[in-house]
Amino acid sequence: MLKSALLVAAGIIVGAGAIQGLHAATGGGYYTVAEINVKDRATYDKDLPAVLSTIKDAGGVYLAGGFDKATLEYGSPGVPPVANRYVIIRYDSKDGYEKAWATGIKKFVGEQEKTGTTFRQVGVEGVEAK
């Protein structure tokens, strides 16, 4: 009887964990789109692996981007030219992004701005898949 009760309890715990995992996988997530004008490519490339590791450790997934891979599809008059680097990253939640910001991205941006690199980033909540 005790063995059956333990098995039922274990099944409930495992099931609850699986449901939580599925909910996180199908949730909308949190996306960041960074527009970066890199001025000192050598310094940027040297510092990039550490910040990518920070992003990965916070659950971020690099979806798209790179140097000179973005094209302006439409722009109102007076819109500045396309930056030389865009990056799109998906996190499971905004909390994941905030962890990455606090543990490495903020420092990386600050150091890069000293070289003349400019950053602009937009964060947006994803929509749940239906």
Q: What is the mean pLDDT of residues 23-34?
A: 79
Q: By C-alpha distance, which of 69, 85, 81 is closest to 36?
A: 85
Domain ranges of the chain: 27-125
29-41 pLDDT, tens digit per residue, is 999 999 999 999 9
Please, which pLDDT band fits residue 119 given cuts at 50, 70 and 90? very high
Give the amino acid at 65.
G
Q: Are 38 and 84 in contact (CB under 8 A)?
A: yes
Q: Quick one: pLDDT at residue 5?
A: 43
54-96 pLDDT, tens digit per residue, is 999 999 999 999 998 888 888 887 888 889 999 999 999 999 9
Task: Tell me the pTM.
Answer: 0.74
Q: Are 31 and 90 in contact (CB under 8 A)?
A: yes
Q: Which two three-digit tokens encode residue 44? A: 């940027």
d(CA 5, CA 11): 10
27-125 CATH fold: Alpha-Beta Plaits (3.30.70)
